[in-house]
Structure 1
Amino acid sequence: MKKNIFFTLIIFVFLLAGCSKNSKDNKETVVFNLGSDYNTLDPHLFTEMIAVQVDSSIYEGLLRLDEKGNYTGGVAKSFKENGNKLIFKLRDNAKWSNGQKIVANDFVFAFKRVLNPKVAAQFSEMLFPIKNAEKYYNGKVGADALGVKAIDDETLEIELEYPTAYFKYILTLPISVPLNQKFYESRENKYAVKLDDFLFNGPYKITKLQEEEILLEKNEDYWNAKNIKIPKIKYVISKDFRVVDDLIKNKEIDMSRVEPYSLSKYKKNKVLDTYFNGRVWYLDFNLSNKYLKNSKLRKAISIVIDRKKYVNEIKKDGSIVAKSIISNEISGYSKKYRESYPDKDYFKDNDIKTAKKLYLEALKELGVNRLRLRLLSGNSDPEVKEIQFIQEELRTKLGLETDISTVPFKERLSKTRSGDYDTVLNTWSPKYDDALSYLDRWKKDDNLNMNVWSKAKYNALVTEISKIPSSKERDKKINEAERILIDENVISPLYFSVENHYRNPKIKDVVRRSVTGIADFTYAHF
């Protein structure tokens, strides 16, 4: 009898130990809902900011941002500027996750890969400020002419074509992380696809890779591993935000973007992180459409919309009215570009009288009595509500009839790129902290619609801005370019969005990067 009791006690102790271990594992892991899919985790080939969240956890470039948003060393322990040259000294203890030392040539090889047109990196132009980068991309010079040199294993030199106000910010993004040549060439087309085809150099490494779940564990080979306090991050993908609310309620998710359904509850419980992400939402006009070539029609559509009602009654999430393209999150010469060039008087919205007058003039000029246009948007709950609101604004205030088409994100993207739309509810998010990250969106050297708006002048301005160092003169040119887009109704800005994120209150000091939306766990802890 005593023997049976003894064995029962032993089993009970083991069970308690197992429960304790599972409880500890759960407390050590941050479960982070990405909210949508990514196309690739190849840091040089990212196409959406969701991938940047993961990539920023597992890779690191020359520089990073500290908790206050200032530049600090990443792989580089120091750097100095000498005219158009940036010279970086790499850390002695910067290693890959296989224990190999990171050397200057890892950056040279990586930059050449990003700029190789055969690789087709979507954001390769981020590296165009480098001397001969654009020429190399366009096949006009060889790779050896690129202004990136490994002076020795610990010293990297980057020469720029001209002073570039935002280039150091680019060096904090995944597009500029290093790449081990030998490892890459042993995989090439398979690089960063399956778990064995990754090589990490950031604070974390992937230990489990599934379609809708990525488990990260602290990378002990990371140069700053001793200061990384969160041992594990589990990235999951749950797209239905009503389901997300239930997962949060059941304590299955620690961090996630949330939609307005339960915002008041999260605010009351003080578990909501709210920040502006720089993303602008706007109506994108198909300027190849024979009707929308008419500027009066575009302006009538734009100014008739009641943006205050839009954000207060439809969005209801803290978004703010936009009458410009560039968010006030963007630094200018004076650190806040928008403060120097406020946008509240760019145009008057909900101006029904003026809008009707312009609409009737447009119909007369177009030689028609009535119009019917197609409205395209995504099919998420918020987007459907928004496009229906816009439809009603146009119908009741202008008498303009529209047909709505709501489609999944990828289909909306495809239709927009192919020109299969009249007007689309579109969005653009800056990829780095500079106005050019917006203005480049509308700079196209395709000779289309040159007579519809001042495209040639705009293109020339944006090119000029890219070559001017940070200054009052540069900000003035930025405003000139921005005003062309607004005054000529190339698009119709609607609102600047916010990100509302639930965060488990036990997780402290996660740093939010407002421009990219990245959650940085470098300083985080339980």
Structure 2
Amino acid sequence: MKKFLSLLLAGVLLFVMAACTANENAGKETDSKDDGKKEEESAEKVLYLNNGQEPTSFDPPIGFDSVSWGALNNLMEGLTRLGQDHEPEAAIAEKWNISEDGKTYTFQIRENAKWSNGDPVTAGDFVFAWKRLLNPDTGSSAAFLGYFIEGGEAYNNGEGSADDVKVKAVDDKTFEVTLTSPQAYFLSVITNPAFFPINEKVATENPKWFAEADSFVGNGPFNLTEWEHDSHFVMEKNDQYWDAETVKLDKIHWAIIDDTNTEYQMYQSGELDVSDVPSELSEQLLGEAKVEDQAGDYFYRFNVNMEPFQNVNIRKAFAMAVDQQQMVDFVTKNGEKPAYGFVSYGFTDPSGNDFRETSGDLVKTNVEEAKALLEKGMEEEGYDKLPEVTLTYSTDDTHKKIAEALQQMFKENLGVEVKLANMEWNVFAEEQKALKFQLSRSSFLADYADPINFLENFQTGHSMNRTGWSSEKYDQLIKDAKNEADEAKRFELMYEAEKILFEEMPIIPIHFYNQVYLYNDAVSGIVRHPVGYLELKWADKK
């Protein structure tokens, strides 16, 4: 959800993988100080995971990032949920009807759908939540996902009112939404946590209902029962959940550990049931790990409003000085695919061709051309000496290694000394949104399964743009693609848009994400969707 928000490789992997499974020592005798606790809980099915970092927020439109999604997707549920086959299926809505023109959806909410406090889930809760997502005062970076709702974009941009947003409660259990145009991926989009309902009565009485365990009210498979900020949080099975019989786990304990090596040590000692693979042990452990594709990118953003990156040739020079193949072979070493475009593999056009393969390599390592472009750009700007460049990343051991590798590549290939800076994730994210960095680490996990979700991030003014880059032609192509009913034409528009993105080069792609984790056979049924959501509804532990 992004799929954008700005995301981190280790944070993403820690978050998504941490929601995985148990290690070979889990449940066995170890020297861990938690042995006594585990013995006491032996009658319960308790899964021990690591979230990697403190969740940004459990407020659905605000927790629009990988460090919030994993937990939030199991605390709450929308009209539809991605099933075990990664396709949208009925969730809080038991059925729906679609109008002949494909623009109006009418959802029937389950009679037994309840909040964790026993209140019924109503159509009004969805109206309240979806309008709140689009309310400009909410400040949600996920608001753009609701622009396909008639009146949604105008309301979010301050050009319309909440009354103009075409969502309504026909009655307590019937919810209706009208779209601006038919959207083939609509049922997939609304599985995103940004579209989860909010208990209107609870939120009205306590606007900070999501901030602590004792005030949190959800409607998903699990309920938040403990949250010691920056330390850990705990979920327990939600007996009020409409499909509680399917849920097998009694409790999930999430640690908050931002170091991959510490996480792996906890996994070895039995304190965690899953672990990411530390990069220095990847060659040794990768054969034991499970590797799955994930729809998303690890990349760097230029700030085109800050020197020297206002110059496109200087941006291209830095991009072409990066060797993505070396990065995945010798730095991350987790089996990732190098990225030479932005849309990841796995999206098929109407001709049956993969989008990435058809669009091709839009940026490649070329040291000689990079040097020539740097010289040209400096001449264009009148630079005798390149202004000082600082590369900023969010604190994490893997991000540090990638940043150091980039620093070395820029030095060796361009003769440019780049300074490094890092900061804690929440501060980093806010500073990046405010365009405070020259060159900064970024990541994107798809919010829904379509190439447009990748490309829409770089529209002018988009909350996930964070580069200052703007192109009227690019904006128009994205707009046209969103409104194009002919799939072949729609893909052609998206191919053209991605080419423009790399002609202007506001980003440096590094690699496409995958999901790599260690686990044992004690845990089963965990589903990891390519778009980044984690499902524990079907998980079990022996």
- Normalising to structure 2: TM-score of the pair? 0.85
Which of 172, 190, 204 is the aligned partner of 2:208? 190
Matched, 1:364 2:403: no
Matched, 1:70 2:87: yes
User: How far apart, in 2, do the equivalents of 1:307 and 1:45 lie?
Assistant: 32
Post-superposition shift, 1:33?
Answer: 0.4
Post-superposition shift, 1:342?
Answer: 4.1
Deviations 1:154-211 (A, max 9, x none): 2221110112233212211221122222222221x22212233222211111222222
Structure 2 unaligned residues grouped into runs of 5+: 1-35
User: How do 1:42-441 residues align onto structure 2 when only pairs under 5 Å count?
Assistant: 42-82=59-99, 83=101, 84-187=103-206, 189-211=207-229, 212-268=231-287, 270=288, 272-330=289-347, 333=350, 337-338=354-355, 341-344=358-361, 346-349=362-365, 351-378=366-393, 379-441=395-457
What is the match of residue 45 of structure 2? 28
Higher RCO, Cα 8 Å, sep 6+: 2
User: How far apart, in 1, do the equivalents of 2:470 and 2:212 lie?
Assistant: 47
8 Å Cα contact 1:330/1:515 also seen in 2: no
- SS of 2:148's equivalent in the other structure is coil
- SS of 2:421's equivalent in the other structure is strand
Distance 1:510 1:488, change over 3 A: same
Post-superposition shift, 1:266?
Answer: 4.0
User: How far apart, in 1, do the equivalents of 2:183 and 2:356 lie?
Assistant: 22
8 Å Cα contact 1:375/1:403 also seen in 2: yes
User: How far apart, in 2, do the equivalents of 1:470 and 1:69 lie?
Assistant: 24
User: How far apart, in 1, do the equivalents of 2:417 and 2:334 lie?
Assistant: 29
Deviations 1:441-499 (A, max 9, x none): 221249xx9xx977111112122222224711111111111111112222222221323
Deviations 1:408-456 (A, max 9, x none): 334433443343333223333322222232223221249xx9xx97711
Give the letter aligned to residue 360 of structure 2: D
Which of 465, 484, 487 is the aligned partner of 1:468? 484
Deviations 1:368-426 (A, max 9, x none): 34424313132422222222222222222222232232333344334433433332233
Distance 1:95 1:335, change over 3 A: farther
What is the match of residue 13 of structure 2? none
Q: Which of the two has higher C-alpha Rg?
A: 1
8 Å Cα contact 2:283/2:333 also seen in 1: no
Deviations 1:219-240 (A, max 9, x none): 1121111111122111221112
8 Å Cα contact 1:333/1:470 also seen in 2: no
Post-superposition shift, 1:331?
Answer: 5.7
8 Å Cα contact 2:279/2:398 also seen in 1: no
Post-superposition shift, 1:20?
Answer: 9.9
Number of residues of Structure 1 aligned to a counterpart in Structure 2: 498
Deviations 1:50-84 (A, max 9, x none): 21111111111100111111221001111121120
Greater alpha carbon shift after TM alignment, 361-370 vs 320-329? 361-370
Give the letter aligned to residue 499 of structure 2: R
User: How far apart, in 2, do the equivalents of 1:196 and 1:223 lie?
Assistant: 22
Give the letter aligned to residue 96 of structure 1: W
Give the letter aligned to residue 180 of structure 2: E
Post-superposition shift, 1:322?
Answer: 0.7
Post-superposition shift, 1:30?
Answer: 0.4
User: How far apart, in 2, do the equivalents of 1:35 and 1:258 lie?
Assistant: 13
User: How far apart, in 2, do the equivalents of 1:336 and 1:217 lie?
Assistant: 44
Post-superposition shift, 1:22?
Answer: 1.8
Matched, 1:522 2:527: no
Give the letter aligned to residue 363 of structure 1: M
Distance 1:230 1:387, change over 3 A: same
Distance 1:221 1:453, change over 3 A: closer
Distance 1:175 1:30, change over 3 A: same
Post-superposition shift, 1:93?
Answer: 1.7
8 Å Cα contact 1:486/1:492 also seen in 2: no
User: How far apart, in 2, do the equivalents of 1:119 and 1:454 lie?
Assistant: 24
8 Å Cα contact 1:373/1:422 also seen in 2: no
Sequence identity, in percent?
A: 26
Greater alpha carbon shift after TM alignment, 101-110 vs 220-229? 101-110
Which of 524, 531, 536 is the aligned partner of 1:508? 524
Deviations 1:79-126 (A, max 9, x none): 121120111112222122233322222211221222222222231221
8 Å Cα contact 1:88/1:156 also seen in 2: yes
User: How far apart, in 2, do the equivalents of 1:276 and 1:20 lie?
Assistant: 33
Give the letter aligned to residue 255 of structure 1: V
8 Å Cα contact 2:260/2:397 also seen in 1: no
Structure 1 unaligned residues grouped into runs of 5+: 1-17
8 Å Cα contact 1:274/1:498 also seen in 2: yes
Post-superposition shift, 1:19?
Answer: 9.4
- SS of 2:70's equivalent in the other structure is helix
Post-superposition shift, 1:302?
Answer: 1.6
Deviations 1:260-284 (A, max 9, x none): 233345445x3x2322333322232
User: How far apart, in 2, do the equivalents of 1:157 and 1:121 lie?
Assistant: 22
What is the match of residue 8 of structure 1? none
RMSD: 2.6
User: How far apart, in 2, do the equivalents of 1:456 and 1:280 lie?
Assistant: 24
- SS of 1:255's equivalent in the other structure is coil
Give the letter aligned to residue 60 of structure 1: E
